[in-house]
Structure 1
Amino acid sequence: MSRATHLPLRVGSRTTVALDVVEFELYPVEGGALPRWRPGAHVDVVTGAGAVRQYSLCGDPADRGRYRIAVLREHDGRGGSAWLHEQLHQGDLITVGGPRNHFRLEPGPSYVFLAGGIGITPLLTMIRQVDAYGASWSLHYGGRTRGSMAYAEDLQAIDARRVHLIPFDERGLIDLALALDSVGPETHVYCCGPESLIRAAEDACARRGLRLRTERFSPKALAPSTADTPFAVRIASTGAEVVVPAGRSIADVLGEAGVDVLTSCAEGTCGTCETAVLDGCPDHRDSVLTEEEQAAGDRILPCVSRSRTRCLVLDL
């Protein structure tokens, strides 16, 4: 991630909001207004030895004085969430990049929200906004146990009639047929949570012809649409070309050639490196762009995606 995008923030408070979930309030060190954001946005948080992790903003977009993120401690994770839980305390400084948004809330008359575990964080802000606008909505929120489900009381306070809490130890998995059978094609469906929930939601919505937007925590399994063979990338601003060999990413090869490409997750899930394509046909291998966005072929995530054509011309 480019250092130019970094912003030092101070931890104003840390609050346990569910089992293994801590909410951090982050404030600008010198005061003033933070960058604007909309529901669905996330920030890049620099942890420990420089590892970068993405966390959804779950506060009020109108509050320019602070950011709020909720962090689930992943006991089998790569250590970023454990560092935040163990090492980040009130008054400490943390470096944050963004915000960025690849999970945008689209306008519409009605919504169904599907949340699994910590996937509630981007949906919480969406629900507050659509409720304020008077749209019809419902939430189906699953978690391991009732005590592990962050913001359950906050959500019920918005409108308990529309909130369906589904602790797995009490009720099993979310009943997607119950959630989706009665909704029409004008309804927007938003889903965030573990891969098993997202895949089930994708299948259920496809069968019903419903519009689904998702945000993933980890890259989805993909069958590459072309062989992993070399291709060229041309830099539009200079005309220079580099060859991307099999087994190397566009972002890595461009970085070695001195071309700055903003990256973070390096696995096609955060959208930080999204780059415009001026010519050529991308071989999309990301977990961010929708099917429609991939079909348009005018952007690429160079940390994972490749090319179907001999040469890609990128707006760099």
Structure 2
Amino acid sequence: MSTPDTWFDATVIGIRNLTPTVKEFRLQYPLALRLAPGAHIDVQVAIDGQTAMRSYSVVRSDANGQIVIAVKQVQGSRGGSRYMASLTLGSTLKASAPVSNFEPVYGPHHYLLLAAGIGVTPMLSVARALVAQGASLQMLYAVRSKDEQAYLPDLQDLLGERLRVFSADRNERLDVAAEINALAESAQLYLCGPIKLLDAAREHWQAAGRHAAQLRYETFGSSGRYLPQDFTVRVPRLGREILVDAGQSMLDALSEAGIAMVSNCRRGECGLCAVDVLETDGVLDHRDVFFSSREHAGGNRICTCVSRVAGTSITIEPPWRGDPDLSHTTVL
């Protein structure tokens, strides 16, 4: 399992329901830790007797070592949200120090923040940082219904008229292409949300001829086009067949079976865990943002940390080319 250098014992000191499906947790760390905008923490969760790791964006923190995260109960989740929902006041869990791969690149340009659903969580700290810098910004927030508008009062107080909310139950549609086309050439776009939103934004951004470095995004690997289901991974060179449960990642199943893998982010962003696809009985449910839409359509490689198969099986060639009896997992 990919792990941070240091785990801390964090105690749950506050829980509140933000929406019918989103729960907020206030965690007390043993010491104050530096927090950059857009940070996330890794948390060890117990799923069916196994320890796994999940990442959650930090909503806010304070100088006393308290960190606030929010977790959405997702249908067909891999088990992390179920575990988090089982926590009560006084529960202790292993959590990492905050790490940010999403801190704004400050400058005189305009910023467009785009969040959908639980993707709002990293945007809060990013928006606060930009406001503190006096930056020109606007935020677009898409939700399924008015009942699922987590942190809306906080955003309204912070941004006022610079915030626009799109609610599907009011037939309000966020036109990603139009919003991108309306941006100045120097503008930056920061977004977090389901994979369909990320794919649409990346495609329109590229089609508009904009610089890739001006598009920044965060992902959550539970979002896919199909509900998770059990499937079998076949590794012909090693003569192995491994069952991947619906609540388990392909990467974890392969690692636990002794198939040597390389991994790092476990969020579908770095591509280190990708393997060659030899054959598929079903549809590849790509949930990463490392490969392009063209590469997804080609179906030649798959990121095992988040992507799955909607079908019965997949046949792969893993990265390890050495002794087939040597079992290890490399973590960078």
Q: How does 1:90-239 map to 2 (within 5 A)?
A: 90-108=89-107, 109-210=109-210, 211-218=214-221
Distance across 1 between alignment mates of 2:263 and 2:331: 13
Distance across 2 between alignment mates of 1:51 and 1:220: 19
Q: How does 1:283-294 map to 2 (within 5 A)?
A: 287=288
Alpha carbons of structure 1 residues 162 and 215: separation in structure 2 relative to 1, 3 Å: same
Distance across 2 between alignment mates of 1:209 and 1:186: 12
Q: Measure how far apart 1:100 and its partner are.
A: 2.8
Aligned to 2:54: 53
The share of aligned pairs that are identical, in percent, is: 29
- Secondary structure of 1:11 counterpart: strand
The answer to whether the Cα contact below 8 Å between 2:18 and 2:151 also exists between their aligned partners in 1 is yes
- Secondary structure of 1:47 counterpart: strand
The answer to whether the Cα contact below 8 Å between 1:19 and 1:149 also exists between their aligned partners in 2 is no
Distance across 2 between alignment mates of 1:244 and 1:190: 43
Q: Render the CA deviation track for 1:176-207: whole Å, top value 9, x for unaligned.
A: 24423332121110111011111111122223
Q: Measure how far apart 1:97 and its partner are.
A: 2.3
Matched, 1:44 2:47: no
Structure with more of its chain in strand, by fraction: 2
The answer to whether the Cα contact below 8 Å between 1:220 and 1:287 also exists between their aligned partners in 2 is no
Aligned to 1:15: 16
Aligned to 1:239: none
- Secondary structure of 1:39 counterpart: coil
Alpha carbons of structure 1 residues 117 and 68: separation in structure 2 relative to 1, 3 Å: same
The answer to whether the Cα contact below 8 Å between 1:118 and 1:149 also exists between their aligned partners in 2 is no
Alpha carbons of structure 1 residues 172 and 51: separation in structure 2 relative to 1, 3 Å: same
Distance across 1 between alignment mates of 2:152 and 2:76: 25
Q: Measure how far apart 1:19 and its partner are.
A: 2.4
Distance across 2 between alignment mates of 1:207 and 1:166: 24
Distance across 2 between alignment mates of 1:33 and 1:8: 13
The answer to whether the Cα contact below 8 Å between 1:42 and 1:54 also exists between their aligned partners in 2 is yes
Q: Measure how far apart 1:173 and its partner are.
A: 2.7
Q: Render the CA deviation track for 1:254-273: whole Å, top value 9, x for unaligned.
A: x979x9977573xx5265x9
**Aligned residues, how many?**
277
TM-score by length of 1: 0.70
The answer to whether the Cα contact below 8 Å between 1:52 and 1:264 also exists between their aligned partners in 2 is no
Gaps of 5+ in 2: 226-234, 243-249, 277-285, 293-302, 307-315, 322-329
Alpha carbons of structure 1 residues 26 and 205: separation in structure 2 relative to 1, 3 Å: same
Alpha carbons of structure 1 residues 23 and 213: separation in structure 2 relative to 1, 3 Å: same
Alpha carbons of structure 1 residues 42 and 158: separation in structure 2 relative to 1, 3 Å: same
The answer to whether the Cα contact below 8 Å between 2:262 and 2:272 also exists between their aligned partners in 1 is no
Please tell me the residue identity of whatever aligns with 2:21: D
Distance across 2 between alignment mates of 1:19 and 1:145: 11
Please tell me the residue identity of whatever aligns with 1:47: V
The answer to whether the Cα contact below 8 Å between 2:263 and 2:331 also exists between their aligned partners in 1 is no
TM-score by length of 2: 0.67
- Secondary structure of 1:150 counterpart: coil
Gaps of 5+ in 1: 222-229, 231-242, 276-281, 292-300
Please tell me the residue identity of whatever aligns with 1:67: I
Distance across 1 between alignment mates of 2:184 and 2:251: 41
